């Protein structure tokens, strides 16, 4: 059984992704990244990426992740906040730890291509 199936399949993974994207978009720290974005499209691409990384035969139809995220200048602190929301939604959904660990590990694997290399301050600003 794939991790995707262990998670509960499409309905559960879509539910987690939907709640996760809503949390990020409504957040006072990172929500601005989603201003003016089509959240249904963001949810679809997050679902595709998550499902595929958990072993489902789902194609990712979004744009390449690195060139899409690099111009946003996402720092390490903002990325960790995103991960915290994902962990909370995974816990809330009651998915098995193996599923949560794999999902988070995939996110961590992408950190270097999503973030700008800074932690919580933009380049040139002392913290």
Domain that holds residue 31: 3-114
Number of domains composing the chain: 1
User: Does residue 110 form part of some domain?
Assistant: yes
Q: How far apart are CA 53 and CA 74, in angstroms?
A: 22
Give yes or no for a contact between 18 and 51, defined as CB atoms under 8 angstroms apart: no
pTM, to two decimals: 0.91
Over the stretch 12-65, which tens digit does the pLDDT of each residue have?
A: 999 999 999 999 999 999 999 999 999 999 999 999 999 999 999 999 999 999
Give yes or no for a contact between 77 and 119, defined as CB atoms under 8 angstroms apart: yes
Mean residue pLDDT of the chain comes to 93
Comparing C-alpha atoms, which of 75, 84, 83 is closest to residue 115? Answer: 75
User: Does residue 87 form part of some domain?
Assistant: yes
Which pLDDT band holds residue 125 (cuts at 50, 70, 90)? low
Instruction: Kindly list the distances between the CA atom of residue 3 and the CA atoms of 54, 98, 103, in Å, as whole numbers in the listed order.
Output: 5, 8, 9
Q: How far apart are CA 45 and CA 35, in angstroms?
A: 17
């Amino acid at each position: 059984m794939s991790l995707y199936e262990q998670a509960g399949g499409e309905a559960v993974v879509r539910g987690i992704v939907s709640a996760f994207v809503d949390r990020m978009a409504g957040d006072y720290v990172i929500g601005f990244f989603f201003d003016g974005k089509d959240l249904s499209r963001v949810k679809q691409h997050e679902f595709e990426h998550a499902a595929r990384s958990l072993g489902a035969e789902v194609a990712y139809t979004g744009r390449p992740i690195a060139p899409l995220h690099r111009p946003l200048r996402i720092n390490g602190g903002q990325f960790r906040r995103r991960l915290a929301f994902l962990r909370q939604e995974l816990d809330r959904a009651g998915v098995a730890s193996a599923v949560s660990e794999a999902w988070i590990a995939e996110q961590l694997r992408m950190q270097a291509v999503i973030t700008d290399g800074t932690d919580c301050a933009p380049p040139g600003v002392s913290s």
